[in-house]
Amino acid sequence: MKLVEEMLAGDVLSLARLISLVEREGAEVPKIMKLVYPYLGKAYCVGITGPPGAGKSTVVDRLTAVMRQRGFTVGIICADPTSPFTGGAVLGDRIRMQQHYLDDGVFIRSMATRGSHGGLPRTTSGVIKLLSAFGKDFVLVETVGVGQTELDIMQNVDTTIVVLVPEAGDTIQTMKAGLFEIADIFTVNKADRPGANNLIVELRAMLQLHSKQSWWQVPVLATEATNDIGIEELYEQIEKHRQALEETGRLSQRRQEQRRREFMETVEGRVTSELLKLVQRDEELSKYLAMVEAGEVDPYSVADEVVRPGALLSSWSRQLAKRRPKD
């Protein structure tokens, strides 16, 4: 595929076009992923999440500057709310990262959530792969900031940073959002505001009570991203977490789990797609569906009948055998 070859050769425009193809989830996506697969694994992926208004984009912007000063290349994925009119990203984080816009070592992409409720678009994983294959040293992924359903981020990155602000709420709300479970690093941004010190103390106390791992103690940092305060320390903690993951073997374990989850989700998607096609073609399955829709029988009984050995499986196998090219 010419676009992939050009992207691997360093062509930024080809990278942008491939990302657009992945975002549209077109038929060519599996081929693209197969071609870039041998080139994956170089990029270290960092997720930045937290409530709206916490200053995540500014943290990403300043963190990128620190990484560039150290000679690293950076890819940035910013999840923005979807426009109800155009379906595109509403905010456009590239506007808030103007200092990196003309930097050849930084690639910024705003992605619309398009109905996803987990803080990230469904296609984020594919875009991360493209940036990794392109050769980026770091990939920073900023979630949309949906509050209590941000667990998608930990399933796609190596290190997760949770950004909070003093007025965002108490630690009980933080626990309710599940952030203690996903955070590898906490940072209280806009730390010059009243209540910041109290929030830091409360977070540290909570972490001591809930910490169940000895290999990594989740740090709580204070940052003022707009004033470029605390960002160097944040980067150092990212590197320390990376080192801890590598030394304990957990980095490879996390990535194995990500690949396993991606495999299961891919298979689930293919199975669902084939099942829907089969329902349309198979008279018996269509009859079952009509009975469920009419309320004549409960869905669970029909599901048990459909998936029992000798029913759907044998019918599906026959259908696939007819479609499979002969050797």
Confirm if 48 and 56 have CB atoms less than 8 A apart. yes
pLDDT tens column, 53-66: 888 989 999 999 99
| Mean pLDDT of the chain, nearest integer | 82
Burial per residue of 190-223, b for 16 or more beta-carbon CB atoms within 10 angstroms, e otherwise:
bbeeeebeebbebbeebbeeeeeeeeeebbbbbb
pLDDT, average across residues 101-113: 83
Residue with tokens 């991606």: 262
Confirm if 47 and 141 have CB atoms less than 8 A apart. yes
Confidence grade of residue 71 (pLDDT, cut at 50, 70, 90) = very high
Other C-beta atoms within 10 Å of 293: how many? 9
Q: What is the largest CA-CA distance in the chain?
A: 72
Name the DSSP letter for residue 309: T
Q: How much is the pTM? A: 0.82
Other C-beta atoms within 10 Å of 75: how many? 26
Q: Looking at the 3D structure of the chain, how many domains does it have?
A: 2
Strand partners, 46: 140, 159
Q: What token pair was written down for 299? A: 């869905």
Domain range enclosing 159:
40-248
- Residue 147 inside a domain? The answer is yes
Same domain, 51 and 87: yes
- CATH code of residue 158: 3.40.50.300
- Residue 11 inside a domain? The answer is no
Length of the chain, in residues: 327
Residue with tokens 């980067």: 235
pLDDT tens column, 214-256: 899 999 999 999 999 999 999 999 999 999 999 999 999 999 9
- Helix, coil or strand: residue 186: strand
Same domain, 74 and 125: yes
Same domain, 276 and 171: no
- Residue 98 inside a domain? The answer is yes
